[in-house]
Structures are given as structure tokens and as C-alpha cells.
Structure 1
Amino acid sequence: MSAVLWIEQSTRAELTRVLDARLVEAAQMVTSLVSKNQIALNRDDPAQISLPASADYEHQQFCQIWSFSSGLVGRSTGAPREQMVPADATGFRTITRDGKALRVYTIVDPDLGGQVTVGDSLAIRDRLVRDVIAGFLWPAVVILPVMWGLIWLSITTGLAPLARFARDLEARRTDDLGALPESKQRPREIRPLAGALDDLLARLARARERERDFIAYAAHEMKTPLAGLKTQAHIARRAPDQATRARALEAISTSVDRTDRMVHQLLDLAQVESRETRSAPLELQGLLQQVLADLTEVADRRTISLALEPSTRSLTLSSDPFLLTIALRNLIENAIQASPTGSDVLVKVSDTEARVLIDIRDGGPGLPPAIAGQAQEKFVKGNNVDPSGSGLGLAIATDAITAASGDIRFERRADGHHTIVALSRTRCHAVDRNAARDG
């Protein structure tokens, strides 16, 4: 349809240009014949000029010759007897005579004292355009169904391997995450798709394996304190004296604390893995002060001194407050658990041109070399850490910091073990506290 409309418009424009040029030529020719007295009048009608007519397009053109003094002096076959345009009119005009639209061109020759008007019917022009469109449409009417059939056949044949591929996928069991079987009938166009699906299935298999391990580890970690709770409850119930009962109740309290901590960490881990990052402006010093305040009770139980090194500048950055809070809380809590009783944990904030650095220094021995490469995985614990730990804290912190577009590294220095969190400074703003206070 777009092609038909385009051809119709372009044909009409081109036909108008050509026929208008022919009218100009015809008018000039008639004027020349009149000026040379070579025009021949019809014998039956002295005022009629004998001009040949086309068999298919009869009376395509007509002309009138008017004298300013004597009126109509000549006309072609089919031309009206009355004057079609005013005496002083020149150039192109579209007029209507006897209900027919006509396109006329007029020349006034003062030397001859007359006017020559040549024209043709717009209906003839429309017929020419329709004939061109019909000549275009008939082959299209024949060819388009053939093309449709060939396109349908080629698409059906070409997509048949993809349809078989889809049926093979639908027939697979939900627990079958193995690689897709190789097929000689698989066209090369869908081999990249098959390779991408194999990669996806492999990653899904690894994710499912991690989930199974996670559930197994979580069940084991939950089972241990619950078994201890049950045992200590029996001891407390059957204790022969008050001291034994007190020790059993203390053991129950410790198991409850360990279970409570692990449940909270499991909930934190679930939120970190399922949460979409939502950045918001946050003041880093204030956030760290709040995290340290929340962990004061944990530090007091181990006689650990928590401190945040004062800063003369207030660092405000755009990050997810929830993820950053969870990460810092777990890292600082790990530092508390790893530090010897009576030592201190110091948190320091600094910044470089590209990053903001949060340095958590503790007095612990650092990560054991045997697990250093696996320390950020779930349920990985060293032999010299607090037995109440679940091995989730560092994994939670790593996932949260990664989601917040940061990273964590560990360094052993002369003054202790350092856990360094590096955050992007792309959207960070620093304010000098002293300058702000003076202002």
C-alpha cells in the first residue's frame, strides 16, 4: 500500500510536469502557425482547426484562437465555442466547463492581436495515472501470494530446528541441569544460543549446589546449638545442686545467643542476596557511630574497647544504607570476636582521590593461611575464632559491599590486623567540620 501511494503521487507529479510542458509547446506551436498563416481551417466548420486525435485518448488536447477584434477565429475538435479564460489571462489555469475539469495554458500575442489557449482534460490525466497503477498492481496481485507462500515455506523450514530445540527443552526434567546433547541437525545459527543455554544451566547447577550446601550447613549449625540446649535443659532439670543448675542455665544462655546470632545472620544474608540496591545520601561518620553503639554490648562482654577515630571532615556519599550497615556491623563484630580479651578495635575513615576507605583494626591474628582463599564463602570458620561464630559474617559483608560497588581486603601489619573497606568516591562529598563550624 505504501508503494502504491508513493507510485501514485510520483506518477501524478511527473505526468503533470510532462503534460503541462506539452501544453506549453502546443500553445507555442499554434501561435507560430497563426503568425505564419499556416493554420488550416476545417471546410465544414470555418472556425474549426483540423487536428489529428488519438484512438485511445480521443481529444486529448484542444485549442482556441481568439482575436481581440473579431472573437473566435479558430478552434480544434472538441474545444468549446465560448471563451475559456479572460482576454488578458496568461499562463496555466484549472477551469471547469460542462462539468469537466480542464487544465489550460494561454499565450497572448500583442503583435497578432490575439490569444491562443491550449488545454486538456484532467480526467484523461487521472486515467493515465490509473493505468500506471493498474499496470503495477496486476503483477503484484499475482506475485504477492507466491511470495507469501515461499516466505511461509522458508520460515517454517528454517525454524524447524529451533522448534525441535524448544521441544527438547520442554521435555527435560526440572532437575536436569546438564549440558544440552549435541545434534548434527542443529544449524549453526542457533549454536550460540545452545552454548549460552549450556552456560546458563552450568551456572544454575552451581547455584543449586551452593543452595544445597547452604541448607545443609545451616541445618547443621542450627542442630548443634539446639542439641546443646536440649542437653543443658536436661542437666538443669536434674541438677543435684544450685551451682550445677547455674552452669547449665549459663550454657543454655550461650546457646541461645549463638542461635539468635546465626538466625539474624541468615536473615541478613537472605536480604542481602534478594535486595535491590537503593542508593541514598548518608553521612559516614554518623553511620559508623551508630554501628559501634549497636555493638557496644557485644564488645563489653569480651572486654573489648570500641573506638572511632575522630575526623575533621564529614564524608557524605551515595550508597545503600542497609547494605553498608550490615557489612560494617558484621566486619566490626568479626573484629570483636577475633580480638583477644581486653584489647581494642579501632575504626578509621580516610579518603583518596578515587575512593573512601574504612579501616577496621583489631588485635586478632588475622585469617589463617589455610582458609584465606575461602574466607569469604559461607560457613567457613578458622580454628582460632570464637566457637559461637557461624562462618557467615564475612560472607554477608562481602556480598553487601560488592552490591554497594565496593571491595574488601585484609592486611596484617605491625600494629594488628586491618580490614579495609574501599567504596567508590564517584558520588562522595567531603565537608570540613571546622570550616563548617566556623561558618
Structure 2
Amino acid sequence: MSLRLRLFLILTGATLAVWLSAVLWIENSTRAEVTRVLDARLVEAARMVSSLVSKNQIALNRDDPAQITLSHDESYEHQQFCQIWSFTQGLVGRSNGAPSAQLVPADATGFRDVTRDGKALRVYTIIDPDLGGQVTVGDSLAMRNRLVRDVIEGFLWPALVILPVMWGLIWLAISRGLAPLDRFASDLDARPSEDLRALPGTAQQPREIRPLAGALDDLLARLAAARGREREFIAYAAHEMKTPLAGLKTQAHIARHAPDTDTREHALAAISTSVDRTDRMVRQLLDLAQVDSRETRATPVELTGLLRQVLGDLAGLATRRGVTLELDSALDAPSVGSDPLLLSLALRNLIENAVQASPDGAAIKARVTGSDDALLIDIHDGGPGLPPEIAQQAGQKFVKGKGADANGSGLGLAIARDALARLGATLRYEMRDDGHHTLLDLPTA
């Protein structure tokens, strides 16, 4: 459903509800006013008849009840009727059209609603001491309802003309009011997909559209930044892939035309190194893509077992590098609610970086400690730590310091940082007396 139609239905529904509420209020107030006025007329008529009886201006006779004439309106026949009852003689007088049967008990006074001959009547009764009886004056409730109905019909008939006109004006007002939004949508639709600049004239937009325009500006800025990072990533990746591939081609050419065995063996060793470097880079690029696209799924993770698995996967690399891997847990099988894939990717890249940075014969120790609020994973290696020139850029893609391992791609810390950020964990580095420490703080909640 469009916003225009939704607003139209809401406003027309509200208008109709207000109109119907007004009808009900007028109906109730009119009925109350009609009842008050006509009840007052019944009281006046009863007192008038009683006064006439007291002054003997009405002849009373049981055998021939006097015909009493009350106020009469041609528009409402039999507006009022009257009965005069003697306590000893019975009906001694009545008006034309008045029922012949007694309407109220002999001792009754005041107002009552009664039904006679299928007609609902409103009557008022007083006791006349001079008569020794009672005077009852009444009128038809149907006549009262007709009066109220005529008032309501007089209010409703104009609504058949007014409401459609009002609804048409509401539709016109909504269309004109939403015109800036339509123009805003048209401007967006006309923009080419590669145009990620901020929307022009945001400050001149209507106040209600400014938050939307501002949010779109923020979104476009984030998209532009993401696209810039994507282009930068592709450029760096292409450059980094080009180097080992060019080396492979060169060394393969040397191996094919090597004049002796030593030259051929040296070229084949260089080919193996280039293949390892390319394999690691491809794996890290896939890991980075997986970190960016994965939806986090928190499950209980037993840290000691996960670390043991990661260390086992890196045992071959550690052996080739001449370092040893050790696991030391100060806790008994600590567990944490986390995404096992993201956590394992972060640990693998951090420990792999430590292996690449450690000198021959060094020992890399992974230790798990913790408290009720957080668990700490401490990866201690024998490397020199982060070079000062890249300390502020640690975690950025393809950032490598001088003297870094030639097989490195500058992606390991970036993968670890992004994965831990998705997990709500923090990563920090410390250089202590016993060597370099990489510290992971994992929340337990």
C-alpha cells in the first residue's frame, strides 16, 4: 500500500469517525433537550388542567367524561393527551385521543414510561386534592423520537455532500504535501549507480525529509568508503599476486634452461617458496572474505580444544620455521559463547604471524586465563614485536613493516582484527621483558 493511500485512508477514517462521534453527541444532547422541554410541557399541562378543575371550569362527569383540549401541533398529531381520574368515580374527564384505560396506579405521581395498545407513552401525574383524584398528562414517545430523528437527518443529509468534498480536498492536500518526496525519489532514481556523492540541497528539503536525506548521505558516504576499500583491496591483491606469479614464471624459465643441477635446484626451491606464498595469500583472502560476509553464530566454544586444534594445524609450518608450539591453560577446559569459525580464523592468523616473526629455535606459548567477566588468551612469542613504523597501522590490510617476512602478505592482523571485532573481543599487543605478547580479551557474557 502506498504512503499516499495509507494517509488518505487514515485521514478519511478519522474524519468519518469525528463526524459519527458528532452525530452521536448531537443525538444524545438533542434527545436530552427534547425530553427536558417536553417533560416541562407535560408538567405545565398537568398543572393547568388541575387548576381548571379546581376552578370548576371543566365539568366532570363519570358517564360522559369531559372532552379536554390541550395544545396541538398539526405537524405532530396527538402531541399531548390528558386523563382525569377520581378516586371514587373513576374516569371523569379525558382529552381527544387519550386512552380510556387508566395509565398509572391510583397513588402514582411524577413521570413514567408506559405502553398501551402497542404505543410507548411518556406520562406525568399529579394528585389534585380538590378533585380527590389524579390528573395524568402524556404524549407519545414515538413523537419524541421523530423530533430527534428529524434533527439528526437534518445533520446527516449535508454530510452526503460535505464529506465527499472534504475527502477530495484531503486527497489533493496529501498529493501536494507529498510532492517534495516524489521529487526526492525522482532525483534518486535519475542518479547513476556510480554517483555516490552526497545529495545536493539537503538543507533546502522540507524538515520531514531532512532526516531521510541525511541518512541517505551517510549511507552513500559509507558505500563510497566501502567501494574505495574494495578497489584498494583489489589493487593491492592484484599487485601482491602479481609478484609471486612473476617470480614463478621467472624461476620456471631458469629451471627449464638451467646449465647445471645446482641452478635447477635453486630455481625449484624458489618456485616452492613462491607457491607457498601464493597459497597463503589466497587462503588469507578467502578468510578475509569469509569474515566480512559471515553472519555471527554464537555457540559454546571450549577454548583449550580450539587452541589445540589450531596449534595442530600450524605444526608443520612451525617445524619448517624451526619453532615449537606450546599450550598452557590455567583454567580447566574454559568455555565461551562465541562463533567458533571466526575465533579459529583469528587465532590461526595471530599464531601464524607469531611463527613467521619468531627466530629459529624460539617457543610460542598460548595461555588461557580468565575471570567471571572475561577470558584472556595470551600468545607469547620470541619475536621483536610490531615495528614502531606500523604500530599505529596494525590491522590494516597489506601493511607490512621493514624487514618483515617476504612470505607475508600483511593480511593476518587484518583478518584477526575484523573477526574479533565481530565477536565483541579486543586485541592488544604488549612488549614485556620476556618477549612479545598478543592478548585477546573475550567477553563471557
TM range (shorter): 0.7 to 0.9
Q: Verify the 8 A CA contact 1:104 1:120 in the aligned structure 2.
A: yes
Q: Deviations over 1:274-329 (max 9, x none)?
A: 12222222222332222222222222221222222222344332222222221122
- Deviation per CA, 1:102-144, whole angstroms, max 9, x where unpaired? 1435759698886665544343343333333334335544544
Q: Deviations over 1:82-120 (max 9, x none)?
A: 44567798874463635x4x1435759698886665544
The answer to whether structure 1 residue 333 and structure 2 residue 333 are counterparts is no
Segment of structure 1 superposing worse, 328-337 or 198-207: 198-207
Amino acid at match of 2:155: F
The question of whether the paired residues in 2 share the 8 Å contact of 1:42 and 1:50 is answered with no
Q: Which of these residues, 322, 329, 334, is aligned with residue 315 of structure 1?
A: 334
The equivalent of 1:421 in structure 2 is 440
Q: CA deviation at 1:238?
A: 3.8
Indicate the residue corresponding to 2:8 in structure 1.
Answer: none
Distance of 1:314 and 1:329 partners within structure 2? 19
- Aligned-residue RMSD, C-alpha: 3.6
* Distance in 2 (alpha carbons) for counterparts of 1:165 and 1:290: 55
Q: CA deviation at 1:68?
A: 6.0
* 1:163 aligned partner: 182
What is the Cα deviation at residue 370 of structure 1?
Answer: 1.4
Q: Does 1:104 align with 2:122?
A: yes
Identical amino acids, percent of aligned pairs: 60
* Alignment match, 1:6: 21
Alignment equivalent of 1:397, drawn from 392, 416, 420: 416
SS at match of 1:370: helix
Q: Counterparts of 1:316 and 1:361 in 2: how far apart (Å)?
A: 21
Residue ranges of structure 2 left out of the alignment (5+ in a row): 1-15
Partner amino acid, structure 1, of 2:442: L
- Aligned match for 2:362, one of 343, 346, 359: 343
**1:142-163 residue CA offsets vs partner (Å, 9 max, x unmatched):** 5445544544444444443433
Unmatched segments (≥5 aa) in structure 1: 428-439
Which stretch of the first structure deviates more once superposed, 39-48 or 117-126? 39-48
Q: After TM superposition, list the pairs within 5 Å mapping 1:251-262 onto structure 2.
A: 251-262=270-281
Structure 1 residue 214 corresponds to structure 2 residue 233:
yes
Q: 1:95 pairs with 87, 91, 115, which one? A: 115
Q: Is the 8 A contact 2:84 2:133 kept in 1?
A: yes
Rounded Cα–Cα distance in structure 2 between residues aligned with 1:278 and 1:67 = 96
Deviation of 1:409 after TM superposition, in Å, equals 1.4
In the alignment, the residues of structure 2 paired with residue 64 and residue 71 of structure 1 have an alpha-carbon distance, to the nearest angstrom, of 10
Q: 1:25 to 1:160 in 2, by over 3 A?
A: closer
Identify the range of structure 1 (242-251 vs 108-117) with the bigger mean alpha-carbon deviation. Answer: 108-117
1:184-199 counterparts in 2 under 5 A?
Answer: 186-187=205-206, 189-199=208-218
Q: What TM-score results when the alignment is normalised by the length of structure 1?
A: 0.81
Q: For residues 43-89 of structure 1, what are the alpha-carbon distances to aligned partners after superposition, in whole Å with 9 as ceiling and x for unaligned?
A: 99834432212454443444444556544334344333344567798
Count of residues in Structure 1 that have an aligned counterpart in Structure 2: 424
Check if 1:359 corresponds to 2:374: no
Q: In the superposition, relative to structure 1, how do residues 117 and 243 fare at CA in structure 2: closer, same or farther (>3 Å)?
A: farther
Q: 1:264 aligned to 2:279? A: no
What is the CA-CA distance between 1:357 and the residue it aligns to? 2.1
1:202 alignment partner, one of 204, 208, 221: 221
Counterpart of 1:376 in structure 2 is 395
